[in-house]
Chains A and B, each alone.
Chain A
């Protein structure tokens, strides 16, 4: 039985920074077969900046194992702060597991980056990236 994707993340790419945050774009399916790899990639990306946006808008299936990775990263990671870009495909599991209580979940990258900063705090320009 090998019809689905799984096992290896279809892709996990650090696509640079947005408003000072490291943006990781993930595609494919995340379940227990690749959650450890997802955690490792996320930890690696987190070394590149204090704020991380995990863009899951290209993820077509997210199991609770993937949510556990994100919660662990948001709570215990050395990454500073974490925001998540969700999509309709994964909003059910995000809701059930209460990911929003650990990291802001937003429908697009701009909103996710904004959610990392308290209101009134000016967004740094690209030239002043930390």
Chain B
């Protein structure tokens, strides 16, 4: 199941000129069945960067399947934004696109019990301007950090997905150069017995201390987990606006074989600074070497050697756009007269690229190739992923408050493992939901998504329970975050 989850979560992230991306997925020791947390980062049709951290209730095959489904639905909704070429896709458009994608996800999540009450934070970032729109559906809002500070963005309201808690509002923010946006699941901030606000403050302190580097940011917030480690799984994704965009590589060389090695070396240095996977490291210098070899061998065959121009730049879609131009004559490959390059040059370019475009004319030949690049992410139990110790937590207890009929006092963790106990106690105490009950959640040490889903079910009953959750308690914060704040009885 972990292997399947590893396949579902992204194993690489786009390499972009204005933004650096990083992500982590971690599991607690106690969790061996695969979790329902996910992250995503991808470039939309309109060139925005979509960032997602989400959480499906439960563990095991059903949760992983539900997670995969929600991830795909949201990804499809976010990536197909209605941007048109030449049309500036502003914050308003991005907000509309994000709201539509999340509304579709909300509707989809309602169709199946397994996807109900999932929570998600999603953002669209304009990499060139730093404009951000975001929403958090029953989920901690993103953290804006960098330049020595960190703060959670204001909540957007609305509860978890699929339970009629929408529509979900969208808000805006802006990333200055060097600042980062961090989206995470609640395993990063949720601790038994500690208010969520403490956990959010803790990762804020850790985040504020890191520089403009999303990898170090992800490590810092995970390292800030207290000694006990994770109680659940956790997904983290970060985007850092580059202080300066990645410069393109340009070179103009004589069309001579002796120049090839130097050209490859320039490209290797450029790729090294971008931290790309081995595939990209191999592909770009090889493709350029083959294309320039073609120009050296063929373009100037009938005259004095001319020059070859190289331009390589990140294309903002996750790839490298590479152009090799000569001023000689294009010759289609002739069988039996292929020279040492042997006609393999274009085959190599086609194999290692997403597209090859050849423009020929009296002024020379220009070959443009787009090579996919990727930045590696480790997901699952492999090396850089943290497998942290689990925290033992006491059992859930539910007792009727002496002398107060219908008041159920709940102590301990309300999570996937204990929610059945609470459901049973409630059914008994409320005669199957026909008698209004009061739930005293002041002693709850953890209110996980399984508990939130139960409370949302109760909220939809004709006689919903009232909830006691004093300010500062674990439950109070979670209830506010998940759209259940209206059930809380204020002490008079």
Pick the most buried of A2, A69, A92: most chain B CB atoms within 10 A of its CB.
Answer: A92
Is A130 part of the binding interface, using a Cβ–Cβ cutoff of 8 Å? no
Return the contact of B285 from the options A61, A65, A96 (Cβ within 8 A). Answer: A61
Contact with B along A95-111 (1 / 0, CB 8 A): 01100000000000000
B255 to chain A, nearest CB (A): 11
A31: chain B residues at CB < 8 Å are 257, 260-261, 289, 293
Instruction: State A116–B289 Cα separation when bound (angstroms).
Output: 32
Number of A-B contacts (CB under 8 A): 93
Do B296 and A32 touch across chains, with their CB atoms under 8 A apart? yes
Do B260 and A4 touch across chains, with their CB atoms under 8 A apart? yes
Do B262 and A68 touch across chains, with their CB atoms under 8 A apart? no
Could you tell me which residues of chain A, from 47 to 90, have a CB within 8 Å of some CB in chain B? 61, 63-65, 67-69, 71, 88-89
Flag the segment in B84-92, B126-134, B339-347, B392-400 that touches A.
Answer: B339-347
Could you tell me which residues of chain A, from 22 to 37, have a CB within 8 Å of some CB in chain B? 29, 31-33, 35-36
A3: chain B residues at CB < 8 Å are 261-262, 265-266
Instruction: State A36–B344 Cα separation when bound (angstroms).
Output: 17
Contacts A32-B296, A67-B342, A97-B344 given; indicate if A4 touches B261 (C-beta within 8 A): yes
Q: Would you call the interface of chain B mostly helix, strand, loop, or mixed?
A: helix
Contacts A63-B293, A68-B341 given; indicate if A96 touches B260 (C-beta within 8 A): no
B253 to chain A, nearest CB (A): 6
B side interface size, CB within 8 A: 31
A65: chain B residues at CB < 8 Å are 293, 340-342
Could you tell me which residues of chain A, from 1 to 46, have a CB within 8 Å of some CB in chain B? 1-7, 29, 31-33, 35-36
Is A115 part of the binding interface, using a Cβ–Cβ cutoff of 8 Å? no
A30 to chain B, nearest CB (A): 10
A111 to chain B, nearest CB (A): 23
Pick the most buried of B265, B340, B347, B351: most chain A CB atoms within 10 A of its CB.
Answer: B340
B215: chain A residues at CB < 8 Å are none
B285: chain A residues at CB < 8 Å are 61
Nearest B residue to A90 via CB reads B282
Do B266 and A93 touch across chains, with their CB atoms under 8 A apart? no
Do A61 and B264 touch across chains, with their CB atoms under 8 A apart? yes
Do A64 and B348 touch across chains, with their CB atoms under 8 A apart? yes
Contacts A31-B293, A68-B340 given; indicate if A93 touches B262 (C-beta within 8 A): no
Instruction: State A111–B142 Cα separation when bound (angstroms).
Output: 54
Could you tell me which residues of chain B, from 346 to 394, have a CB within 8 Å of some CB in chain A? 347-348, 351-352
Return the contact of A32 from the options B282, B340, B348 (Cβ within 8 A). Answer: B340
Do B286 and A93 touch across chains, with their CB atoms under 8 A apart? yes
Do A63 and B261 touch across chains, with their CB atoms under 8 A apart? no
A89: chain B residues at CB < 8 Å are 282
Is B259 part of the binding interface, using a Cβ–Cβ cutoff of 8 Å? yes
Nearest A residue to B340 via CB reads A65
A88: chain B residues at CB < 8 Å are 278
Contacts A63-B290, A68-B341 given; indicate if A32 touches B263 (C-beta within 8 A): no
Instruction: State A96–B346 Cα separation when bound (angstroms).
Output: 11
Instruction: State A2–B340 Cα separation when bound (angstroms).
Output: 22
Is B402 part of the binding interface, using a Cβ–Cβ cutoff of 8 Å? no
Do A96 and B347 touch across chains, with their CB atoms under 8 A apart? yes
Instruction: State A35–B297 Cα separation when bound (angstroms).
Output: 13
Return the contact of A63 from the options B289, B347, B352 (Cβ within 8 A). Answer: B289
Is B332 part of the binding interface, using a Cβ–Cβ cutoff of 8 Å? no
Is B283 part of the binding interface, using a Cβ–Cβ cutoff of 8 Å? yes
Return the contact of B283 from the options A63, A69, A71, A92 (Cβ within 8 A). Answer: A92
Instruction: State A36–B264 Cα separation when bound (angstroms).
Output: 20
Return the contact of A64 from the options B261, B262, B282, B290 (Cβ within 8 A). Answer: B290
Instruction: State A35–B261 Cα separation when bound (angstroms).
Output: 13
- Which residues of chain B have a CB within 8 Å of any CB of chain A? 251, 253, 257-266, 278, 282-283, 285-286, 289-290, 293, 296-297, 340-342, 344-345, 347-348, 351-352
- Which residues of chain A have a CB within 8 Å of any CB of chain B? 1-7, 29, 31-33, 35-36, 61, 63-65, 67-69, 71, 88-89, 92-93, 96-97
Could you list 14 examples of A-B contacts with CB < 8 Å? Answer: A1-B259, A1-B262, A1-B263, A4-B261, A7-B257, A31-B257, A32-B293, A32-B296, A32-B340, A61-B285, A63-B289, A64-B347, A68-B344, A96-B344
Closest 9 CB pairs of A and B: A4-B261, A6-B261, A64-B344, A68-B342, A1-B262, A33-B257, A65-B340, A4-B265, A3-B265
Given contacts A6-B258, A64-B345, A96-B351, 7 further A-B contacts (CB under 8 A): A2-B258, A4-B261, A4-B263, A7-B261, A33-B257, A65-B342, A96-B352
